[in-house]
């Protein structure tokens, strides 16, 4: 994993920035939210993929692509969380002033 991170830091940084942007937008976005049930299913799917990755059951290139996707997805989520949290902090600071 560390090797992948050093090797592809550009792509990973891209994923994180993409997440940061999405997180930033998500706070004030009016898009339709994913339902709770769907969230649970998606979380289960993600957990299953992570388990498959750690168990190394997916062979060859597909295994590599799975790992790559999971790292990019994880960084995307981290970026989202930071973006959302920062946006929320900015929004809540500006509210009393307005």
Note the helical H segments in 1-98.
2-7, 9-26, 36-55, 60-97
For position 85 contacting another protein by CB under 8 A, the verdict is yes
For position 37 contacting another protein by CB under 8 A, the verdict is no
Q: Taking the complex as a whole, how short is the minimal distance between the CB of residue 9 and another protein, in angstroms?
A: 11
DSSP state of 58: S
For position 54 contacting another protein by CB under 8 A, the verdict is no
Query: Which residue, 26, 15, 30, is CA-closest to 79?
Result: 15
| Phi, psi of 87, deg, nearest 5 | -60, -45
Chain residues in the site for another protein (CB under 8 A): 2-4, 7-8, 11, 14-15, 18-19, 21-23, 26-27, 29, 31, 33-35, 39, 56, 59-65, 67-69, 72-73, 76-77, 80-81, 84-85, 88
């Amino acid at each position: 994993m560390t090797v992948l991170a050093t090797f592809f830091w550009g792509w990973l940084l891209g994923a994180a920035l993409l997440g940061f942007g999405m997180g930033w937008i998500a706070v004030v976005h009016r898009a339709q939210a994913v339902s709770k049930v769907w969230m649970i299913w998606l979380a289960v799917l993600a957990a299953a993929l992570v388990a498959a990755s750690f168990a190394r059951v997916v062979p060859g290139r597909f295994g590599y692509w799975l790992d790559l996707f999971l790292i990019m997805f994880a960084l995307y989520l981290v970026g989202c969380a930071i973006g959302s949290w920062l946006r929320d902090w900015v929004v809540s600071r500006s509210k009393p002033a307005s």
